[in-house]
Structure 1
Amino acid sequence: MFQQITKGIKISVKTVYNGTIYRGYMQHYAFSYFVTIKNDSKETVQLLERFWAIYDSLNDTEYVEGEGVVGQTPVIKPNEEYNYRSNCFLMSSIGAMGGNYKMINTKTSEEFLVDIPTFQLTTTPTLN
Structure 2
Amino acid sequence: MFTRRPFYYRLSEGMRISVRPHYLPGHSFPPLQRFVFAYDVRIENISRRAAQLMSRRWTIYDSIGEEMEVVGDGVVGLQPLLNPGDVHEYQSFCVLKSPRGWMEGEYYFRTLENTYFTAIIPRFDLVADPEWINDEE
1:24-79 deviation line (CA, Å, top 9, x unaligned): x9331111000000000011110001000000112421001011110010001110
SS class of match (1:50): strand
Matched to 1:88, the amino acid is C
The Cα RMSD (Å) is 1.7
Query: Which residue of 1 is the match for residue 105 of structure 2?
Result: 99
Moved over 3 A (4+): none
Q: Normalising by the residue count of structure 1, what TM-score does the alignment of the two structures yield?
A: 0.91
Q: Is 1:55 aligned to 2:65, yes or no?
A: no
Decide which of 71, 81, 97 is 1:65's aligned counterpart.
71
Gaps of 5+ in 2: 1-6, 132-137
Query: C-alpha separation between the residues in 1 aligned to 2:23 and 2:119?
Result: 26
1:86 to 80, 83, 92: 92
- Mapped pair 1:123 → 2:117: no
Mapped to 1, the partners of 2:60 and 2:21 lie a distance apart of: 14
Separation (CA, whole Å) in 1 of partners of 2:79 and 2:45: 14
In the comparison of the two structures, how many residue pairs are matched? 124
Higher strand share: 1
**Could you tell me which of 5, 12, 25 is aligned with 2:18?**
12
One-letter amino acid of the structure 2 residue matched with residue 5 of structure 1: L
Identical aligned residues as a percent: 35
Task: Name the structure where helix makes up a greater proportion of residues.
Answer: 2
Show the counterpart of 2:135.
Answer: none
